[in-house]
Structure 1
């Protein structure tokens, strides 16, 4: 079977027109017609009902079934080509979210340098959700991802590395700064400055507020943790961050959250399970996950 025929068939179903499908690939219309005929002969069934002019078509149930599988085959072939190219280049496409890059990665960077691995890195920054999608489609090879609790994703190998609690953040001198612990219910009227939607912190904050049945008064969101901390320090609002993201120099106080069975900010090394590891990538993975 010619995989090009499958690509022609998928595009034909997507566009619903032989002429447009031919134009997409820069081939003649009979080329698309012959591809469909070869597939119908291969599977022994009709895949497309078309009129004499080929101006309109109807996909049969068998055709819809083949279409779904052909889409998967196309994605897997594209991914295979990408991963083969990566193996030949000896580069490691590495995903690193900003918070983990700032507050966790420096702790392990020294041993990566000592092993001569950092020179192979092509680092992609982004939120954990974005990087997770890039792992799935093969755009990156391995990533350090944050999650609200243990991360479980079919098709991915996940190795937990570290975790830290989520906390309430206030400036030194704030009326709440001396509290030993707080619940979100006690903060229902407080203004919050938090990270943007799509960050792991936003998912965790929704868990805590749902547990206490409150809707937080969010006055500002930012995609930059440094900006969030500066605004908290200036008294714009209180914050919600992992304790890992707060350093003594920030002039902020972390207050534990009073809630049983709460999620923690968890950092994991993540890669596709079926990815064939080059020697360099294997060494990098070993260094990331070494105790």
Structure 2
């Protein structure tokens, strides 16, 4: 069986036309017919039949199973071709979520420069959901992304790098900052400024509010943690941040969240499950893991 036969079968079911499929691949129509016959001989079954009235090609249960498998095989084959091409070119595409990039990119860049890999590693920033889609689609080789643990696709290989911890930010003058044991429920009586949908903070914030069946007052959404902290500093709102997006100002009060169940969120290093970490790929993975390990050691001191 030739992988081209799977390409022909997949396209034929999509176009519903032997003529169109042959034209798409610049081959003769008998070539498509022979490919289908080879597949049916190999599996010793009929893959589809032509409906009498509509002339549509209708898959048999065996054909349905083969089409699902063909979609996976073709997708993986394309990814393998792309990966080998990048290995030949000694390049790697790395995606980073903005909040992670803001905190970790300087530390990651240093060993990349020291190992003379800067021209080989192409880095882009995008939101967590987009990163996952691009890794699955083969547009990215690796991604460093914050993810809700239950949302990750089984087609991904995931290395947890560190957990997110979420907190409320308040100015020292805010009533919540003066309470002995403030709760998230009490906090929701005040307006909030939060990071926008580029970050997981927004999703987690609304999930926590839903646990309490309270519609939160969101004064403003921003892609800048500096702007969030500035509005909190002026006592115009409370802030909802993670420990890696929390600002450096020491005069803001950080309030832990203890009265609701915070979803499990991790910064993960993700790649396609069938992508083997070798060569440049392994070098970059090692740099990322060691950078996070070093940061965690510093935080524990």
TM-score when scaled to structure 2?
A: 0.81
Name the CA shift for 1:250/1:226 in 2 (closer, same or farther; >3 Å).
Answer: farther
* Cα deviation 1:210-255 (Å, max 9, x = unaligned): 3333221224334444454455456653221113212335975432
| Aligned pairs for 1:218-237 within 5 A | 218-233=218-233, 237=237
Deviations 1:127-184 (A, max 9, x none): 1222122223332222222134698653444333334421112345444344465322
**How far 1:71 sits from its partner (Å)?**
1.1
Structure 2 unaligned blocks of 5 or more:
294-301
Aligned-residue offset at 1:60: 1.9
The answer to whether the 8 Å contact 1:180/1:256 transfers is no
* Change beyond 3 A, Cα 1:180–1:111: farther
- Which residues in structure 2 correspond to 1:247-286 (within 5 Å)? 247-249=247-249, 252-259=252-259, 262-263=262-263, 266-286=266-286
- Is residue 198–residue 223 contact of structure 2 (8 Å, CA) maintained in 1? no
Structure-2 separation of matches of 1:264 and 1:252: 25
Give how far 1:87 is off: 1.1
C-alpha deviation, 1:36, in angstroms: 1.9
CA positional deviation for 1:83? 1.0
Distance in 2 (alpha carbons) for counterparts of 1:160 and 1:109: 20
Displacement of 1:72 after TM fit? 1.2
- Shift of the 209–193 alpha-carbon distance from structure 1 to 2, 3 Å rule, reads same
In 1, Cα distance between equivalents of 2:240 and 2:88: 43
Q: Which moved more, 1:182-191 or 1:125-134?
A: 182-191
Structure 1 length-normalised TM? 0.84
For residue 187 of structure 1, what is the aligned residue in structure 2?
Answer: 187
- Superposition map of 1:186-225 within 5 A: 186-197=186-197, 199-225=199-225
Other-structure match for 2:45: 45
1:248 is paired with a residue whose SS is coil
Q: 1:56 to 1:149 in 2, by over 3 A?
A: closer
Between 1:277-286 and 1:73-82, the stretch displaced more is 277-286
**2:287 paired residue number:** 287
Distance of aligned partners of 1:44 and 1:139 in 2 relative to their CA distance in 1, 3 Å threshold: same
What CA deviation, in whole Å up to 9, does each residue of 1:191-224 have, x standing for no partner? Answer: 2222333632133223422333322122433444
C-alpha spacing 1:265/1:36, structure 2 compared with 1 (3 Å): closer
Quote the Cα distance in structure 1 between the aligned partners of 2:260 and 2:189. Answer: 22
Do 2:226 and 2:247's aligned partners in 1 also have CA atoms closer than 8 Å? no
**CA separation in 2, counterparts of 1:10 and 1:201?**
41
2:99 is aligned to 99
The 1:105–1:179 alpha-carbon spacing in structure 2 relative to 1, beyond 3 Å, is farther
Distance 1:147 1:53, change over 3 A: closer
**Whole-angstrom distance in 2 between the partners of 1:264 and 1:52:** 54
Distance of 1:5 and 1:49 partners within structure 2: 18
Distance in structure 1 (CA, Å) of the matches to 2:234 and 2:24: 56
Measured in 1, the distance between the counterparts of 2:202 and 2:52 equals 56
Matched, 1:71 2:71: yes
**1:93·1:121 contact (CA, 8 Å) conserved in 2?**
yes
Write the mapping of 1:27-176 to structure 2, written as runs, cut at 5 A: 27-50=27-50, 55-148=55-148, 154-171=154-171, 173-176=173-176
How far apart, CA to CA, are the structure 1 residues paired with 2:130 and 2:107?
24
